Amino acid sequence: MSFSSLLKWSIPLLLANEVMGTRLVPIRPHGGRHNKRQEPSGFDLKSDETFLWGSVDASDSALASLTVHTPGENENILSMEHFDDMITNVHCGNNSIEMTFEDDATFAYAQRVWDWVNGADNHSFVMVAGPGDCGTNEDRIPYIVSTLYYDEDANKATLGAIESNWTAIAHTYDLVIGSNDTQNRTSEASVLPRDIDKDTSIDFNHHLNGSLAIARGDLSATVTCLNCSTTGSFDMKFKISQKLGIPTDATITLKPKGVSAYAKMKLAGTGKVVQSLTKTFDLLSIPLAGLDIPGVFELGPFLTVALGAELTGIALTATVTSGATGSLYDSAVVEMNMLDPSENTFSGWDPKVEILETSVDGSISGGVQAFLQASLELKANALGKGFRIGLDLKVPSVNAKLTGITSTKEVCEGSNQNIGVKATTGIGGQLGIKAFRESDESKPFVTITLAALEKPLTEPLCFPFGPKSGAVSARSVRHPHIRRIAAV
């Protein structure tokens, strides 16, 4: 399979009216207009040029770095942002750029270094106009310059230039979205550290509620989220590289930051079912704020959080309440290599899960599992190439094996009741990440199991119910005040 077909996946982008994303804006060299006197060397043609984008709000953590390479003998690249303060007037058309220089010296310098393009028919260079360089343009615009004409008396140059786009001009590039690394930092030392040490984050803070109806045969039950929520965020970094049109790197790095989930759930119903029965219900299904660099990069995240239950050979006339908290360590990290899955690495994803108070009131037997399942889907397009990543987090999950007990003796120590339920409970969590191709959306191209936790509690639970001997009413014995099961 070719590199190009490997990365040519579908990118259905989110509509603008569905969610307000973050539009990254250009970060100028030198920190902004007039912050530093520009030098004539700003007119020099280069074999590579780095462009930065960041959030309008400096407190928002998002950054992009694009380094475009022009290694051929007949090509070069130049950013107008390096010299636009030394130009008094610019007019950009569909086939030309006219610019007037501030004095004779700057005009002479530009004429000397740019005249290279007139030296041969196949000579050309890319000139990228910065925001406002062509009038009211808010985004950078690349042009391909192939000829130059001069007006000596007016200090004016007319460039034969065709407006292009980033996909067309960037046959060789390195693109980093998220925290910048030293290999892709701009050479301009005046770009502030706060502008280059950022991560792209996906918000994971949501309050959830809802219920799931389960019915089969004579079974009628409901699982309800009494109190469910997720917190934290996921930091992401994308790196995509291409050389002469051939992808050489395509990786995504994902790290949790304060990620946790809280789920207090209730199962109530009557009836029985012999076969296993699994159902899920979406508590939340929303597009999240994405990222947009016009013509360069688009990211559209989508979050789904489901409430799920699995019942096995169950018979009940009862209410069961339980729950758990699940959290991920900030040290966890996964890096997916879309070109070479053998290079995938991950560590630290085993979740920390703690069970909440559990209670049973009524007759029940069989297996019960209830869980929250968050699915974070990332759809992105970078310079015409796309990918889709799915992160599945089944955390936390609570499972229990329940056995109804009837005895002539008390079933739970100290209860003085001869009917009850024995419960062996456990906690767990499954985490995985997948990548999909356009040719087969139903089958992931890359699958990584990040963690699979199944941990039984060391002490069984006992819940008595029914009338007490010599008492009018009874109450459930609740975890964590666990009592040992008495012999029957």
**pLDDT of 365 over the 50 cut:** yes
Q: Give the model confidence (pLDDT) of 414-430 as tens digits.
A: 888 989 999 999 999 99
The predicted structure's pLDDT at residue 76: 97
Long-range contacts of 485-488 (CB under 8 A, 24+ apart): 485/411, 485/412, 485/413, 485/422, 485/460, 486/409, 486/410, 486/411, 486/412, 486/413, 486/462, 487/409, 488/405, 488/407, 488/409, 488/411
What average pLDDT does this structure show over 57-64? 60
Measured from the Cβ of residue 218, the count of other Cβ atoms closer than 10 Å reads 10
Q: Are residues 290 and 411 in the same domain?
A: yes
What average pLDDT does this structure show over 236-260? 93
CA 152 to chain centroid, in Å, comes to 54
Q: Give the model confidence (pLDDT) of 107-143 as tens digits.
A: 999 999 999 999 888 999 999 999 999 988 999 999 9
Measured from the Cβ of residue 183, the count of other Cβ atoms closer than 10 Å reads 10
Task: Please state whether the peptide bond connecting residue 301 to the residue before it is cis, i.e. omega within 30 degrees of 0.
Answer: no
The predicted structure's pLDDT at residue 101: 96
Q: Are residues 155 and 210 in the same domain?
A: no
Phi first, then psi, for residue 196 (nearest 5°) are: -125, 0
Q: Which of 20-24, 153-157, 361-365, 419-423 has the lowest mean pLDDT?
A: 20-24
Q: Are residues 309 and 403 in the same domain?
A: yes
Hey, CA dihedral for 405, 406, 408, 412, is it positive or negative? positive
Q: Which of 81-90, 101-110, 478-487 has the lowest mean pLDDT?
A: 478-487
Please state, in angstroms and rounded to a whole number, the distance separating the CA atoms of residues 266 and 268.
Answer: 6
343 within a domain of the structure (yes/no): yes
Q: Are residues 189 and 213 in the same domain?
A: no
Q: Give the model confidence (pLDDT) of 267-306 as tens digits.
A: 999 999 988 999 999 999 999 888 899 999 999 999 999 9
Which residues, other chains included, contact 456 with Cβ-Cβ below 8 Å and sequence gap of 6+? 424, 425, 426
Q: Are residues 122 and 211 in the same domain?
A: no
Which residues, other chains included, contact 117 with Cβ-Cβ below 8 Å and sequence gap of 6+? 123, 124, 125, 145, 146, 147, 148
Q: Are residues 130 and 222 in the same domain?
A: no
The predicted structure's pLDDT at residue 196: 34
For 46, 48, 151, 344, the CA distances from 116, given in Å and listed in that order, are 12, 17, 17, 45
Under a CB-based contact definition with an 8 Å cutoff, are residues 266 and 288 in contact?
no
Q: 219-243 and 173-177 as β-strands: parallel, antiparallel, unpaired? A: antiparallel
Residue 443 amino acid letter:
K
Under a CB-based contact definition with an 8 Å cutoff, are residues 111 and 152 in contact?
no
Q: Are residues 218 and 70 in the same domain?
A: no
The predicted structure's pLDDT at residue 36: 61
Higher pLDDT, 37 or 317: 317
Q: Are residues 103 and 227 in the same domain?
A: no
CA 341 to chain centroid, in Å, comes to 19
119 within a domain of the structure (yes/no): yes
**pLDDT of 195 over the 60 cut:** no
The whole-model pTM stands at: 0.81
Please state, in angstroms and rounded to a whole number, the distance separating the CA atoms of residues 3 and 249.
Answer: 10
Q: Are residues 401 and 441 in the same domain?
A: yes
Q: Are residues 297 and 327 in the same domain?
A: yes
Q: Are residues 95 and 217 in the same domain?
A: no
> How does DSSP assign 65-80, residue by residue?
EEEEE--STTEEEEEG
| Secondary structure (3-state) at 84 | helix
307 within a domain of the structure (yes/no): yes
Please state, in angstroms and rounded to a whole number, the distance separating the CA atoms of residues 73 and 75.
Answer: 6
414 within a domain of the structure (yes/no): yes
Q: Give the model confidence (pLDDT) of 15-53 as tens digits.
A: 222 344 678 899 988 765 655 678 899 999 999 999 999
What average pLDDT does this structure show over 246-255? 92
Mean pLDDT of the chain: 84
Read off the DSSP letter of residue 29: G
**pLDDT of 368 over the 90 cut:** yes
470 within a domain of the structure (yes/no): no
101 within a domain of the structure (yes/no): yes
382 within a domain of the structure (yes/no): yes
Q: Are residues 191 and 206 in the same domain?
A: no
**pLDDT of 258 over the 90 cut:** yes
**pLDDT of 10 over the 50 cut:** no
**pLDDT of 394 over the 50 cut:** yes
| Secondary structure (3-state) at 7 | helix
Give how many domains the chain has, as a whole number. Answer: 2
Q: What residues make up the domain containing 424? A: 202-238+256-465
Q: Kindly state the tokens that stand for 99.
A: 């610019």
Q: Which residues of 397-435 are buried (b: 16+ CB within 10 A; e: fewer)?
A: bbbbbbebbeeeebbbeebbbbbbbbbebbbbbbbbbbb
Give residue 57's pLDDT band: very low, low, confident or very high (50, 70, 90).
low
The predicted structure's pLDDT at residue 31: 62
Under a CB-based contact definition with an 8 Å cutoff, are residues 24 and 291 in contact?
yes
Phi first, then psi, for residue 138 (nearest 5°) are: -90, -25
Q: Kindly state the tokens that stand for 107.
A: 């005009």
Higher pLDDT, 483 or 257: 257
Please state, in angstroms and rounded to a whole number, the distance separating the CA atoms of residues 81 and 33.
Answer: 9
The predicted structure's pLDDT at residue 415: 86
Under a CB-based contact definition with an 8 Å cutoff, are residues 279 and 214 in contact?
yes
131 within a domain of the structure (yes/no): yes
Q: Kindly state the tokens that stand for 477.
A: 């014995």
| Burial zone of 275 (CB within 10 Å; 0-12 exposed, 13-18 middle, 19+ buried) | exposed
For the chain, the maximum distance between any two Cα atoms, rounded to a whole number of angstroms, is 114
Question: Which of 374, 402, 416 is CA-nearest to residue 263?
Answer: 374
Q: Kindly state the tokens that stand for 218.
A: 């004579």
Which residues, other chains included, contact 316 with Cβ-Cβ below 8 Å and sequence gap of 6+? 221, 267, 269, 270, 271, 272, 362, 363, 364, 365, 366
